[in-house]
A and B are shown apart, each in its own frame.
Chain A
Amino acid sequence: MKSRDIAIVGILLAIGAILRYLSNVIPGAIVANPIIALYCLALILIRPSVRDALGIGLVAGVVSALISHSIFPPANLISEPIGALVCVAVYGMLYKRVLGPGIATLLATLASGFSFLLISLFVIVFSVVSAPGESFTIEAFVIAVSPIVVFTAIANSAVTQILYFPASRILMRGASGSAGKGKAKSSRPGAEEPLGRESADGAGTGARKIPDPSESLTESATRSDEVIRFDNYTYQYPQGEQPSLIDVTTTIHRGECVLVSGPTGAGKTTFCLAATGVLHHEYGGKANGSIGIFGKYVGEYEDLGEIGQYIGMVFDDADAQLIFTTVEEEILSGLENRGFSEDEVHARLEEVLTLTNTAELRHRPPHTLSGGQKQRLALAATLAGGTDCLILDEATAELDTRATAMVLGILARLKEEGKTILVVEQKFDELIDLADRIICLDNGHISGELTPDEAAAQEASSDFGTPEPLPELSSGSPEPSEPLVVIEDLVHSYGSVTALKGVNLTIGAGELVAIVGENGSGKTTLCKHLNGLLRPTSGRVLVDGQDTKDVSITQLATTVGLVFQNPDTMLFADTVEKEILFGLRNIGRGEDMACVTTVLDEVGLAGTLSRFPRSMSRGERQRLAIACVTAMNPAIIILDEPTTGLDPREAERIMQIIGQLNKQGQTILMISHDMGIVARHAHRVITMDAGRIVSDTGGV
């Protein structure tokens, strides 16, 4: 089984456990078990061997037993493997049938449910056979609880069937896509095919070997000055229609800090994945040319685990890299499998905790950490591996200025220690002092390799951030007029923590206001009071003359729209059209197709009605999220970090849209950490700190 499959099963079981917890409403001997629906979904998506299916069933049984409120929790250890086996067997027969996932889950739930019931009854009857249970009627008991099993089977079947299509499209596997381990021969006939005459692992005709292949791994890895070397490397993903990297040739030397730059879609992440051996060992696809890592061809390494002894990688999604349940465990995971003695492990743990400023967080679970803390932890866990080379793929993309500065400070210290660092980053200005060299990528090609001075000069003279013009809107720019939002002495507490400490604020119609401040300063808490997601602990909030405590969230949604930082928080439909119609239906305008096309045109997404939202780029998804909100025509639009994670061109495009909406008459509140964007676009800047407004540049 691939590691990704293990991750898929673990994640889906977590969701199953949450649903199971929420469904513990049926008292008695048996309760509905949505975990079955989720492990069936996992089995259908990854199609494991029978042995692995039984193993997955056993893990599901452990989770079910731990969370169970049924009469005999250990019965899950037998009933769930039975369910898993039935699911795999049935789906094997119904593979690629539209209703296959639902039917497989239905039968698996029945098998699991009734086997659970029989085991429980057997234990109960067996144990009390000489006690008062002589007259206990098994038939009556089974008849009484059978409807629950049948109902659960139908519900689970619907859940799996509904989730299967979006899940398979996300994973690009199952019946609607294909993927698999690069070296696997079975699932993907095109895997590892060379694009031309040379293969990715250097084994093809004409591939040139890098230094001294006769050396042992350890010798070559430690002595070679060449850390990563690309030779005329071209790569195309298994599902790709064209190469993502084209004829890339470059060498990264020991001790260098190299910044990889370029617009969205230039191939930066693919470059990192190639340099780490992921493309060769995990993704497959088609490749030409060769890649060397510490003096050996990538294909000469047994697996990613072996490459991981020399290269560590930090990804943009920090949360997804945290596997363990405390900060200390996460870092230990990188130390405990390196052959160190126990004393060495403890000494190195303290070193890494100190280097990454995570010592005070050591006992905290990951879900309680901020984005910056998570990214520092991901970096710490990678550093714990003690690799000579570190690759960071947009590791600070979602961080505020302070958190970014902390990560960059760590990188500076690592560079001083002689580590080789490869960084993909949009925050060009902040990294330019750290980099020795900048590799510029564009459409998969290396368009140039620059010194920091050359890159800075080019950056200053480029029009890189200027996006395509958007259609002009008809309305003129209104002057700020009557107060639309009035906040008086607003206090909000989360338990014992006071997040807002007496905020007073007035915002007039037609203003474009930026709210700035460090993480935890109260910006998001303040904004959530405007649409009723939070209610004041004390004080009051008036929106368009109405006290929010007297109005439902549904009613407020017609006046106040909220675009979350991550567009994926709201997107769920299978087409762009349905996504926008969802909000319109909620306010009784479900047939307003003219509105759908208008808002899509306004955000530069005309002609995308039938596209699957999740297949769009991050910038396009952000624009779609804005369109979903503007379609409902609220008087106030709140945008939480609308440009985070976007390249400069896409960020400017978003700001252009926001500016036009403001011209049209809508009042805009924008939370941002990007002071450049705030300076260029906001009419008024409110700064928050520790739950208070500490400065305000204007107001009605």
Chain B
Amino acid sequence: MAEILQYIRKDGLFHHLNALSKIVFLVLVVVASVSITQIPILAGVVVVLFLLAVVGKLYRELLSQVPMLLVLSAGLLLLTVLTMQSGDVIGHLIPAAVPVIGGAFPITTGALTFAGILSFRFFAMIFAFQLVIISTQPRDLVYALQQLKFPVDYSLMLLIALRFIPSLQLEGKRISEAQLARAYNPGKGLTGKLRSLGPLIIPLVSNALGKANVLGLTIDLRGLRTHPRTVMAEQRLVGLDYAALVVMLCALVGLLWYLLF
């Protein structure tokens, strides 16, 4: 299984940006994605994001997301075609030649345009989230959230969640092997997933909760909730951040111009 939400160590543009700048970038992309309703401009946003990924040496990671995004976009297209009847009819989901039900579910230009808008928004937001996640150390993300007045208790929760995801993935694999070695065969598909709930998830949750006590004591003994922290250089905004913020400000002005005029 691929590692979830994990930082990838590289020496690229995004890696040199402060986490706070990346949060601003994320907000800008989300606002732009939900504000823009023209497919060519949305496609342009996606292309710009991809080019930024190339500059940031992270394009392979974005490309690996594309097959899954295409599948999800296809689902979105189906859902939109089924629920939207506007514009010209350009065909039918069930061809007219099929007896009895032929001609059902017309495919309209409005539905296709709408699905296109949703899909590009989808691409833009997922690309932006991916770029931020894989280029940001969780600790920097948490520190940036604290600068935004996110309470320390909640940022610690987030940090612990991000830290333990890969460890628990490995633990889950070990548990799965242990039950397989006991001739356990839950089967595949949804039924298999439901059957595996007891033998796989119960030990996973139990073992994980067994760590909570030591983890809590470690937090207390290290004074992570109570003591003031030394601000390190890498946690401050640098020239690149200010340059990025200026570019993002320009992009925001452009977006406002687009929305208003």
The answer to the question of B9 belonging to the interface, with a C-beta cut-off of 8 Å to chain A, is yes
User: CA A587 – CA B182 in complex, angstroms?
Assistant: 9
Q: How far is the CB of A390 from chain B (nearest CB, A)?
A: 11
Please, how many angstroms separate the alpha-carbon atoms of A323 and B157 in the complex? 10
Q: Is the CB of A27 within 8 A of B75?
A: yes
- Cβ A12 vs Cβ B158 within 8 A: no
A window 9-68: CB within 8 A of B:
9-15, 17-19, 21-22, 24, 26-29, 41, 52, 55-56, 58-59, 62-63, 65-68
- Find out whether the CB atom of B114 lies under 8 angstroms from the CB atom of A132: yes
Residue pair A136, B72 in contact (C-beta under 8 Å): no
Q: A28-B72, A62-B158, A128-B117 are in contact. Are A342 and B233 (CB under 8 A)?
A: yes
Count A/B pairs, Cβ under 8 Å.
385
Across the interface, do A10 and B86 meet the contact criterion of CB distance under 8 Å? no
B221 contacts A7, C-beta separation under 8 Å = no
B110 within 8 A of A: yes
Is A337 a contact partner of B224 (Cβ separation < 8 A)? yes
Q: Do B167 and A367 touch (CB < 8 A)?
A: yes
Question: A5 contacts which of B30, B121, B216 (Cβ < 8 Å)?
Answer: B216
Establish whether residues A10 and B181, one from each chain, have CB atoms under 8 Å apart when the complex forms.
Answer: no
A3 to B82 Cα, complex, angstroms: 49
Tell me whether A367 and B166 are in contact (CB under 8 A).
yes
Residues on B with beta carbons closer than 8 Å to the beta carbon of A63: 158, 161-162
A137, B182: Cβ atoms under 8 Å? no
Cβ distance B57 to chain A, nearest Cβ, rounded Å = 17
Is B139 in contact with A324, judged by CB distance below 8 angstroms? yes
CB distance A557 to B215 under 8 Å? no
Which of B71, B113, B114 has most chain A Cβ within 10 Å? B114
Asked if B139 and A163 make an inter-chain contact with CB atoms under 8 angstroms apart, the answer reads no
Query: At the interface, is chain A mostly helix, strand, loop or mixed?
Result: helix
Could you say which of B4, B157, B164, B205 contacts A67, with CB atoms under 8 Å apart?
A: B4
Choose among A12, A313, A533, A562 the residue that contacts B221 (Cβ–Cβ < 8 A): A313
1/0 per residue, CB under 8 A from B, across A150-170: the answer is 000000001100110011001
Residues on the B chain within 8 Å of A329, using CB: 137, 139
Query: Would A531 and B181 be within 8 Å (CB), given that A17-B5, A135-B86, A336-B229 are in contact?
Result: yes
Stretch at the interface among B89-97, B122-130, B237-245: B122-130
CB pair A17 B137 closer than 8 Å? no
User: A693 an interface residue at 8 Å Cβ cutoff?
Assistant: no
Within 8 A of A (CB), among B119-147: 121-122, 125-126, 129, 133, 137-139
Central interface residue in B74, B170, B214, B226, by most chain A CB within 10 Å? B214
- Residue A315 lies at the interface, judged by CB distance under 8 Å to chain B: yes
Q: Taking the nearest CB of chain A, how far is it from the CB of B236, in angstroms?
A: 10
Give the distance in Å from the alpha carbon of A163 to the alpha carbon of B208 in the complex: 12
Q: Do residues A303 and B220 form an inter-chain contact, with CB atoms below 8 A?
A: yes
| B172 interface residue (CB < 8 Å to A) | yes
Interface residues of A in 258-308 (CB under 8 A from B): 276, 278, 281-282, 303-308
Cβ of B166: which chain A residues have Cβ within 8 Å of it?
A: 365, 367
B151 within 8 A of A: yes
Inside 8 A of A363's CB, which chain B residues have their CB? Answer: 9
Cβ contacts A540-573/B at 8 Å (1 or 0 each): 0000000000000110011011101000111111
In the bound complex, what is the Cα–Cα distance between A74 and B128 (angstroms)? Answer: 12
| Cβ–Cβ contact A28 & B215, under 8 A | no
In the complex, chain A residues whose CB is within 8 Å of the CB of B169? 18, 367
B199 nearest CB neighbor, chain A only: A572
Q: Are A3 and B220 in contact (CB under 8 A)?
A: yes
**Across the interface, do A323 and B35 meet the contact criterion of CB distance under 8 Å?**
no
CA distance A17 to B194 in the complex (A): 17
- A144 contacts B117, C-beta separation under 8 Å: no
Chain A residues with CB under 8 A of B7: 325, 365
- The answer to whether A323 and B183 touch (CB under 8 A), given A132-B87, A345-B230, A367-B170, is no
Residues 333-355 of chain A: 1 if any B CB is under 8 Å from the residue's CB, otherwise 0? 11111111110010000000000
Contacts of A127 in B (CB 8 A): 34-35, 37
Chain B residues within 8 Å of A497, by CB: none
CB-CB under 8 A from B184, the residues of chain A are: 554, 582, 586
Instruction: A313 to B206: give the CA distance in the assembly, Å.
Output: 24
Interface-central residue, A74, A171, A276, by most chain B CB under 10 Å: A74
Q: Are B211 and A163 in contact (CB under 8 A)?
A: no
Cβ proximity bits B170-213 to A, threshold 8 Å, 1 near / 0 not: 10101101111111110000000010011111111111111111
CB distance from A227 to the nearest CB of B (A): 16
A86-104 vs B, Cβ < 8 Å mask (1 yes, 0 no)? 0000000000000000000
Interface centre among B38, B197, B222, B231 (most CB of A within 10 A): B222
What chain B residues lie within 8 Å of A22 (beta carbons)? 1
User: Contacts of B204 on A, CB cut-off 8 Å?
Assistant: 15
Residues from chain B with a CB closer than 8 A to the CB of A583 are 182-183
Tell me if B84 is interfacial: C-beta within 8 Å of chain A. Answer: yes
* Chain A count of residues within 8 A CB distance of the other chain: 134
Q: Is A485 an interface residue, CB under 8 A from the partner? A: no
Q: Is the CB of B164 within 8 A of A163?
A: no
A338 to B222: give the CA distance in the assembly, Å. 10
The answer, yes or no, to whether A140 is at the interface (CB within 8 Å) is yes
Across the interface, do A570 and B211 meet the contact criterion of CB distance under 8 Å? no
Q: Tell whether A557 pairs with B181 under 8 Å between CB atoms, given A17-B161, A340-B230, A572-B206.
A: yes
A318-331 CB mask vs B (1 if < 8 Å, else 0) is 01111111100100
- Chain B residues closer than 8 Å to A306, beta-carbon distance: 223
Determine if B230 and A144 form an interchain contact, defined as CB atoms under 8 angstroms apart.
Answer: no
A694 within 8 A of B: no
* A533-B172 CB under 8 A given contacts A3-B216, A133-B86, A319-B211: no
CB-nearest residue of chain A relative to B231?
A342
Docked-complex contact A337 and B227, CB < 8 angstroms: yes
A212: which B residues are within 8 A, CB to CB?
Answer: none
Contact A4:B213 (CB < 8 A) given known A341-B230, A554-B183 = yes
Q: Is B79 a contact partner of A628 (Cβ separation < 8 A)?
A: no
A308 touching B76, Cβ below 8 Å: no
- For the complex, give the distance between the alpha carbons of A63 and B133 in Å: 11
Interface: A366 (CB within 8 A)? yes
CB neighbours of B200 from chain A (8 A) = 572
Please indicate the chain B residues that have their CB under 8 angstroms from the CB of A41 in the complex. Answer: 205
Q: How far, in whole Å, are A621 and B48 apart by their CA atoms in the complex?
A: 57
The answer on a CB contact under 8 Å between B83 and A141 is yes
Q: Could you tell me the distance between the alpha carbons of A105 and B13 in the complex, rounded to whole angstroms?
A: 42
Say yes or no for B260: interface residue by CB 8 A criterion. Answer: no
| CA–CA, A500 and B227, complex, Å | 49
CB distance from A103 to the nearest CB of B (A): 18
Residues of B within 8 A of A571 (CB): 203
Contacts A13-B161, A131-B117, A132-B109; A308 near B223 (Cβ below 8 A): yes
User: In the complex, what residues of A have CB within 8 A of residue B109's CB?
Assistant: 132
Besides A317-B210, A554-B183, 5 new A-B residue pairs in contact (Cβ under 8 A), listed by A number = A21-B1, A313-B217, A557-B180, A572-B203, A586-B185
List chain B positions with a Cβ less than 8 A from chain A.
1, 4-7, 9, 30, 34-35, 37-38, 68-69, 71-76, 78-79, 82-87, 109-110, 113-114, 117-118, 121-122, 125-126, 129, 133, 137-139, 151, 153-154, 156-170, 172, 174-175, 177-185, 194, 197-233
Q: List 13 A-B contacts (CB under 8 A).
A: A13-B158, A15-B168, A21-B1, A74-B30, A163-B205, A167-B205, A315-B217, A320-B212, A323-B219, A337-B224, A338-B230, A367-B170, A531-B181
User: What are the 3 closest A-B residue pairs judged by CB atoms, nearest first?
Assistant: A27-B75, A10-B160, A4-B216
